[in-house]
Structure 1
Amino acid sequence: MSTSGRAVMAVAMLAGFYLLALGIVAGLLAFDIGLYRSMGGLHLGVLKLWALSAAVGYPVVRVVFLTRHRAADDELPGVLVTREQQPALWGLVDRIAERTALRGPAEIRLVPEVNAGVLEETRLLGLIPGKRHLVIGVPLLLGLTEGELEAVLAHEFGHYSNRDVRLAGVTLAGRRALLHTIGGFHARADQHRAEEAAKLAAKAEKRLAKGRKPSSEEAGGGIDRMLAGLFTLYAKLYFRVSEAVGRRQEYAADLVAAHLAGRDATASALRKVPVLDSAQDFYLGSFATIGWEAGLLPPVGQVYGGLAHLLSDPKRRQELAEYALDLPEHAPDPYDSHPPIARRVAAVEALPEDGRGPGAAGPALALLREPERVLAELEVVTLAPEAAGKERVEWSELVRRAMAAHARESAGPACDALTALGLPPTVHGLLDALDAGRAQEFTDRLPRSEQAAAATGRAALDAARPLLRGELGRVTVLALVESGRAAWELSWSGPAELRLPDGFADAFEAALDAACADEPDTAPLRALLAAGPVTA
């Protein structure tokens, strides 16, 4: 389909969205006028039906036409970089623009997501061009070579050359309008349901006070929920049509990237991007934010920049390389604007050999001047406001203190149960409880499954033993950590490693088994704890 044809389709679909809303309102007006004429004037029944029509038409007008949409700039937090600040990065972009004879972006914005994209401030539903923006995700700079980054950026210029950016303005406007409308109807429905539930609860309370059975009536979302369902059906049709166009655009942009940066560099970049996306998610959850609840963050600039440590670890690098070579094959999603990445890679690798190889092998991050400062600025503009109050510590200390805080939280139920028994909330307090035959009293105060709580006799003892053993292990580890005899060590290759005193791990399991036996023997574990100072 030609660019003009795609533009016409997108505009028609977007116009159809508003026509649907206007059609609902016009249909209601026609119904009201026809009702008035057929009834020969105003009657109570007419007024009731008019009120019902208004109840349907008002939310359509209110949500679709009167509610303001959020500006696009509100959705693009990041760091703007000028030519003076980052000449090497701008130089790469300018070279691509020159080779394609296209107008380059007016600004480059660095963002924390694994993404690169273009945005053009068009008018008349994207038909009149405007200011262009280029967005580059910092993880791409951390994980790609210069040659691969050139391929990614060349892909975005491929959208420029295909005039896809203007079309994207139309389809994006339609997507936002539909999602905004559907969300607005659901929000109104949720509010209506909450108000109705409050009224029903008040009625139920009055009926109970009078000794009467409460009504079984449940609150619903009203007409707004029905309208949300109607516009959702249209949204599915719109997304299927517009995203099918988007998938064709992606293949065309990949061909432009292969022409500009080379087949091999383009294929390599396509393989790495989903790998970087997975690595970024894992890194943020397992490393960067590990100490968030404890009030800790990595050093300044390392919340995002620390991904480089993970990517450079030999074991992780091997894992990621294997993933890149064996990308999962997914069936095309009719609502996805991008084809499956494996199919895009296959299409590029099927191109003839061009002799250019993988391109510049240097790290893409080298294109940035003072990358540490840029990464620090990115944290300022993208992290939650609470981040400003977190303590910044080195990675080794971050892991040690964060895991210690997790250990204290994990041992919390056992400490609470011991306090309830009038015993010290320490490992020695729990050992004293075992020696005094109070194991069941202790486990009865721990959170348990319904099945475990209902068990009696021998079944209760068998169900409680693993629970008791687990809690004893947790308070023992906490005691070792808080006395300085054990600590967690940072490992980029896997989970943080708990370093126990020499010889402790060998005897620990047997000591726990002895302490949790039918006839508890706490002496082995007490002996292990007595080998060094333990204060908790």
Structure 2
Amino acid sequence: MSTSARAATAVALLVGFYAFALGIVAGLIVLDVALYRASGELRPGLIKIWALTAAVAYPVVRVVFLTRRRKDGGELPGVLLTREQQPAVWAVVDRISEQTGVRGPAEIRLVPEVNAGVFEETRLLGLIPGKRHLVIGAPLLIGLTEGELESVLAHEFGHYSNRDVRLAAVTVAGRRAVLNAIGGLHQRADQHQADEAAKLAAKAEKRLAKGRKPSAEQASGGVDRVLAKIFTLYAKLYFRVSEAVGRRQEYAADQVAARIAGRDATAAALRKMPVLDSAQDFYLGRYATIGWDAGLLPPPGQIYGGLAHLLTDPKRRQELAEYALELPEEQPDPYDSHPPIERRVAAIEALPDDGRGNGAIGPALALLHDAERALTELEVVSLIPEAARKQRVEWSELVRTAMRTHAREAAAPAYRALAGLGLPATVHGLLDAVDAGRAWEFTDRLPKSEKAAAATGRAAREFARPVLREELGHASVVALVEAGLAGWELSWAGPAELHLPDGFADGFDAALDAACTDSPDTAPLRALLAGAGLPAA
């Protein structure tokens, strides 16, 4: 079946979705009228049946036909990139618009996601066109070359340039409408079930208070749940057909991108997209927000812009390049509008060599005038309000302070246990506990696994020994850091690197082992700490 035929089928199914809903309501009305005529008079039983049919018809009418949906033309998130402020970005977009023969966007916005897209303010389920918006993800500007970015943008315009998919907008808008209806029915069912469960719980409590066994009745969600399941079955068929249209669109748009930006640049961009997505998640979790709990954030513009440091580190670049070459194999999902990325790459790389290579190899971020300011503005409009209360510090200070905070948190249970024993909450206090034969008393106050809690005698000590060793290590590091004798340094190639005093690491493991035997000797660790410059207790 051609893409146009599939799109037409999807539109027919969308019409059928609403016809199905109307059919349910109309059928109930016909049933009510038929029963009234058959009875010849208004009876109490007939009124009960009418109430039941009304309970079925109301959620269908309320959710499917009367629920307000968000209009596409609302304020989009992100930073507005005007022609006056960003002429280079607009020049690329205008050129691609001209080459694809597609009407360009009315506005461009910078967003934090690894994504680019063209959205249109359509009416009548996409049949009437309107104002277009282009969004460009900051990670794409940071991680792609100009040629690769052109490929991504050409792909987005390619969705509008393929004449055989004019009904595609209808399928997309229809998908949103169907999801909205099903979601509304499930939401009503969830609320009904919650209310019913609360009533049943109250009844059960009263029965128990009277010494009676509570009922085994369970909350179900009522007629709303039944309707939601029925409409979901129909929706699955619609999604299967409409998403098949979406997958063909993706392949067609990739062909447009290859024609505009070149085969190699398009394939390279496709390979980089999942890499950038993973790199962005890793960067935000391990770097940008590492100091969140300590009340710290990177300098302005670096929450998103700092991704460039990770991507340009030689070791990370090698890792990411290897990941891009070995894309994971995915089984196509019939309900996913995007084909597996490795299949899209294979389709592009199978095209004849057009001799254009990777196109413009300059960083795409260079297109953005005053990138630091734009990325700072993006932070303002996209971060949660709590971020405004964080202190902005340089990367080196951010890592040092954040890691020190994490180390303190790791040592906190040990300090609380020492305080409970009446000992100083320091490494020397813990060493004194070991010398006094109170090591196992100390570990007994720490959180335990279920097995460790059940162990006794020798077995309990074997569970406690590595715990004692770990806590001695934490307390030693914290003491050195607090005294300014040790600290962490930022590394874009791996985790933050802990720098200990010269020679300290050479004897640290042996000193910890000596302090954790059945006949503990704390002298080596005390000597090591003193030799590093840490004052004695």
Does the residue aligned with 1:512 lie in a helix, a strand or coil? helix
2:296 alignment counterpart: 296
User: Partner amino acid for 2:414?
Assistant: A
Letter in 2 for 1:323: Y
- Which residue is equivalent to 1:180? 180
Q: Could you say if the C-alpha distance between residues 29 and 323 of structure 1 is closer, same or farther in structure 2, counting changes exceeding 3 Å?
A: same
Q: Distance in 1 between matches of 2:476 and 2:123?
A: 67
**Structure 1 residues 468-500: Cα deviation after superposition (integer angstroms, max 9, x where no partner):** 222232222222222222211111111111111
Matched, 1:533 2:534: yes
3-state secondary structure, aligned to 2:118: strand
For 1:487, the equivalent position in structure 2 comes to 487
User: Match for residue 509 of structure 1?
Assistant: 509
1:356-367 alignment runs, 5 A limit = 356-367=356-367
Tell whether the 8 Å contact from 1:297 to 1:391 is kept in structure 2 after alignment.
yes
The one-letter code matched in structure 2 to 1:408 is: R
Aligned to 1:281: 281
Equivalence map 1:312-323=2 (5 Å): 312-323=312-323
Aligned to 1:150: 150
Q: 2:110 is paired with a residue of what secondary structure?
A: strand
Determine if contact 2:417/2:446 at 8 Å carries over to the other structure.
Answer: yes
Which deviates more, 433-442 or 82-91? 433-442
Distance in 1 separating the partners of 2:37 and 2:475: 81
Contact 2:152 2:266 in 1 (8 A): yes
The AA in structure 1 aligned to 2:13 is M
Structure 1's consecutive aligned runs of 4 or more residues displaced over 6 angstroms after TM superposition are none
User: Which residue number corresponds to residue 242 of structure 1?
Assistant: 242
Aligned to 1:522: 522
Of 511-520 and 341-350, deviating more is: 511-520
Q: Are 2:219 and 1:219 equivalent residues in the alignment?
A: yes
CA distances 1:495-522 after superposition (whole Å, capped 9, x unpaired): 1111112222222222222222222222
Indicate yes or no: 2:305 matched with 1:305.
Answer: yes
Q: Which residue of 2 aligns with 1:394?
A: 394
1:113 deviation in Å?
A: 1.0
Which position in structure 2 is the counterpart of 1:123?
123
1:35-84: CA deviations, max 9, x gaps? 44455544444444433333333222222223222333568411111111
**Which residue does 1:204 correspond to in 2?**
204
For 2:76 and 2:359, the matched residues in 1 are separated by: 30
Which residue is equivalent to 1:423? 423
C-alpha change, 1:439 and 1:156, in structure 2 (3 Å) is: same
Amino acid at match of 2:67: T
**What is aligned with 1:61?**
61
Q: Distance in 2 between matches of 1:393 and 1:48?
A: 69
1:436 and 1:468 map into 2 onto residues whose CA distance is 14
- After superposition, residues 69-88 of structure 1 pair within 5 angstroms as 69-72=69-72, 76-88=76-88
C-alpha contact (below 8 Å) 2:207/2:214 kept by paired residues: yes
Q: Note the alpha carbon deviations across 1:123-152, whole angstroms, 9 max, x for none.
A: 222122221221111111111111111111
Taking the aligned partners of 1:512 and 1:424, their CA distance within structure 2 comes to: 19
The one-letter code sitting in structure 2 at the alignment partner of 1:266 is T
Paired with 2:75 and 2:422, the residues of 1 have a C-alpha distance of 54
Distance 1:454 1:41 in 2: 75
Partner amino acid, structure 2, of 1:363: P
1:2-38 Cα distance to aligned partner (Å, 9 max, x none): 6754543332232222223223333333343444445
Q: Is residue 418–residue 424 contact of structure 1 (8 Å, CA) maintained in 2?
A: yes
Give secondary structure in 2 for the equivalent of 1:530: helix
Equivalent-residue separation in structure 2 for 1:144 and 1:208 (angstroms): 66
Q: Tell me, what secondary structure is at the counterpart of 2:330?
A: coil
Offset, 1:398: 0.9
Deviations 1:328-368 (A, max 9, x none): 22121111111111111111111111111111111111111
Contact 2:301–2:376 at 8 Å: present in 1 too?
A: yes
The alpha-carbon deviation at position 261 of structure 1 amounts to 1.3
Structure 1: distance between partners of 2:229 and 2:496 = 47
- Are the equivalent residues in 2 in contact too, given 1:3–1:163 (CA < 8 A)? no
Q: Is the 8 A contact 1:300 1:392 kept in 2?
A: yes
TM-score, length-scaled by structure 2: 0.93
C-alpha distance in 2, partners of 1:42/1:433?
A: 88
State the Cα distance separating 1:215 from its structure 2 match: 4.0
Instruction: Give CA-to-partner distance per residue, 1:220-245, whole Å, 9 cap, x none.
Output: 43333333323332332222111111
| Residues in 2 aligned to 1:388 and 1:252: alpha-carbon distance in whole angstroms | 43
Q: Percent identity?
A: 78
1:109 paired residue number = 109
Question: Does the 8 A contact of 1:78 with 1:378 survive in 2?
Answer: yes
Mark the CA change 1:521 to 1:325 in structure 2 (over 3 Å): closer, same or farther. Answer: same
- Aligned-partner SS, 1:293: helix
Contact 1:107 1:134 in 2 (8 A): yes
In structure 2, the CA distance between the partners of 1:50 and 1:530, relative to structure 1 (3 Å rule), is: farther
Shift of 1:400: 1.1
CA separation of 1:294 and 1:220: change in aligned 2, threshold 3 A = farther
When the two chains are superposed, the root-mean-square deviation of aligned CA atoms in Å is 2.3
For residues 219 and 426 of structure 1, the distance between their equivalents in structure 2, rounded to whole angstroms, comes to: 55
How far apart in 2 are the matches of 1:23 and 1:468? 71
Contact 1:488 1:497 in 2 (8 A): yes
The 10-residue stretch of structure 1 (195-204 or 348-357) with the greater mean CA deviation from structure 2? 195-204
Tell me the distance in 2 between the aligned counterparts of 1:263 and 1:512. 59
Deviations 1:257-312 (A, max 9, x none): 11111111111111111211111111111111111122111110011111100110
How many residues are treated as equivalent by the alignment? 536
SS for the counterpart of 1:299 is: coil
1:254-273 residue pairs with structure 2 within 5 A? Answer: 254-273=254-273
Letter in 2 for 1:533: L
- SS of the aligned residue for 1:72 comes to coil
Partner of 1:10: 10
CA distance in 2, matches of 1:49, 1:449: 59
Q: What is the aligned partner in structure 1 of residue 382 from structure 2?
A: 382
| C-alpha spacing 1:228/1:511, structure 2 compared with 1 (3 Å) | farther
User: Match of 1:477, as an amino acid?
Assistant: V
Structure 1 unaligned residues grouped into runs of 5+:
none
Q: Deviations over 1:413-469 (max 9, x none)?
A: 222222333333322232222223333332232222222211222222222222222
TM-superposed CA distance for 1:219, in Å, is 3.5
Cα distance change, pair 314–200 in 1 and its aligned pair in 2 (3 A): same
| 1:376 CA displacement | 0.7
- In structure 2, the residue corresponding to 1:17 is in which secondary structure? helix
Greater Cα shift, 17-26 or 248-257 = 17-26
Question: Structure 2 vs 1, CA of residues 461 and 23 (structure 1 numbering), >3 Å: closer, same or farther?
Answer: farther
In structure 2, do the counterparts of structure 1 residues 56 and 259 end up closer, same or farther at CA, with 3 Å as the change threshold?
same
Counterparts of residues 343-358 of structure 1 (less than 5 Å): 343-358=343-358
CA shift for structure 1 position 174: 2.1
**Could you say which residue in structure 1 is the equivalent of 2:169?**
169
SS at match of 2:294: coil
Q: Is the 8 A contact 1:182 1:228 kept in 2?
A: yes
Relative distance call for 1:5 and 1:128 in structure 2 (3 A) is farther
Inter-CA distance 304–151: structure 2 relative to 1 (3 Å threshold):
same
- Is the alpha carbon distance of 1:144 and 1:222 closer, same or farther for their aligned partners in structure 2, counting shifts above 3 Å? same
Verify the 8 A CA contact 1:96 1:154 in the aligned structure 2: yes
Secondary structure of the residue that 1:83 maps to in structure 2? coil
2: CA distance, partners of 1:412 / 1:515: 20
Separation in 2, partners of 1:426, 1:278: 40
Stretch of structure 1 that moved more, 171-180 or 334-343: 171-180
Task: Return the offset for 1:217.
Answer: 4.0
